[in-house]
């Protein structure tokens, strides 16, 4: 195990300052991508209270207890509850106004959900570009070594080869991983927005049905 670690350390040293710098940037971007992905997954997780929120709100509205419905939304304090609360506060106005207020609330919640999505997209594009820069740096290092030493053996040019191959592999791997993270988060956001729109539609149906 110690031999393997020593070999990896030796390889890192042979990469030279430029290769180490590019590799460090790629690892830094990887840390950012993982942090954003985990944070967004946690933030976009549907809360247990949301599963029964609409049923309880509709029941309160059917009983004419608008204050109770508002209090329930305020206590829950989730994206869905905030959208529903906006609609409840507009009950008594034309349905179009109620719908418009909830649409604006959904747009605001969607904007909040999309935070970090652009970061993942940016990392997925930057990482392969950094890998390509590392490839160019590796080739330059190889030719510089040959030019200064006149030596063509594998030992003398191995540093440049390591830079070329390792940075390319790291950049492509992170690019694919970050794009996968972006895809998962984007899909989750769309699902959450759909649930908000469905909840708003159910509230409209409740308050527009005679006798409710």
% of residues, the chain, pLDDT over 70: 86
Q: Are residues 82 and 164 in the same domain?
A: no
pLDDT in tens, 14-45: 666 777 888 889 999 999 999 999 999 998 88
Tokens of 179: 């794009």
Q: Are residues 58 and 103 in the same domain?
A: yes
Contacts of 40 (CB under 8 A, 6+ apart): 115, 116, 117, 185, 188
pLDDT in tens, 131-159: 888 888 777 777 777 777 776 666 666 66
Identify whether the C-beta of residue 135 lies closer than 8 Å to the C-beta of residue 167: yes
- Domain for residue 89, yes or no? yes
pLDDT at res. 13: 67
Average pLDDT, the chain: 85
Q: How far is CA 50 from CA 41, 113, 132, 167, 204, in A?
A: 17, 16, 46, 45, 17
- Domain for residue 4, yes or no? no
Low-confidence ranges of the chain (pLDDT < 50): 1-6
pLDDT at res. 165: 82
Cα radius of gyration (the chain): 27
Q: What is the DSSP string of 24-53?
A: HHHHHHHHHHHHHHHHHHHHTPPPHHHHHH
pLDDT at res. 158: 64
> 98: domain range?
48-113+199-208
- Cα gap 149→151, rounded to integer Å: 5
Q: Are residues 127 and 138 in the same domain?
A: yes
- Domain for residue 102, yes or no? yes
Q: Are residues 131 and 163 in the same domain?
A: yes
For the chain, the domain total comes to 2
In b/e form, how buried is each residue of 13-26, taking b as 16+ CB within 10 angstroms? Answer: ebbbebbebbbebb
- Domain for residue 11, yes or no? no
Q: Are residues 122 and 178 in the same domain?
A: yes
- Domain for residue 60, yes or no? yes
Q: Are residues 38 and 129 in the same domain?
A: yes
Predicted TM-score of the model (pTM): 0.81
């Amino acid at each position: 195990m110690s031999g393997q670690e020593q070999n990896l350390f030796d390889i890192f040293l042979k990469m030279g300052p430029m290769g180490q710098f590019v590799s460090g940037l790629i690892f830094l971007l990887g840390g950012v991508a993982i942090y954003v992905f985990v944070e967004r997954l946690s933030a976009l997780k549907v809360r247990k209270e949301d599963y029964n929120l609409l049923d309880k709100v509709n029941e309160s509205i059917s009983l004419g207890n608008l204050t109770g419905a508002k209090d329930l939304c305020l206590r829950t304090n989730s994206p869905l509850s905030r959208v529903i609360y906006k609609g409840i506060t507009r009950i008594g106005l034309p349905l179009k106004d109620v719908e418009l207020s909830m649409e604006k609330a959904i747009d605001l919640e969607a904007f909040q959900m999309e935070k970090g999505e652009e970061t993942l997209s940016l990392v997925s594009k930057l990482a392969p570009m950094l890998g390509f820069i590392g490839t160019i740096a590796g080739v330059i290092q190889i030719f510089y070594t040959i030019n200064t030493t006149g030596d063509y053996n594998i030992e003398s040019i191995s540093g440049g080869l390591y830079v070329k191959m390792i940075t390319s592999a790291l950049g492509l791997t992170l690019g694919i991983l970050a794009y996968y993270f972006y895809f998962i988060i984007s899909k989750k956001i769309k699902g959450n927005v759909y649930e908000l729109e469905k909840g708003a539609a159910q509230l409209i149906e409740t308050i527009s049905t005679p006798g409710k």
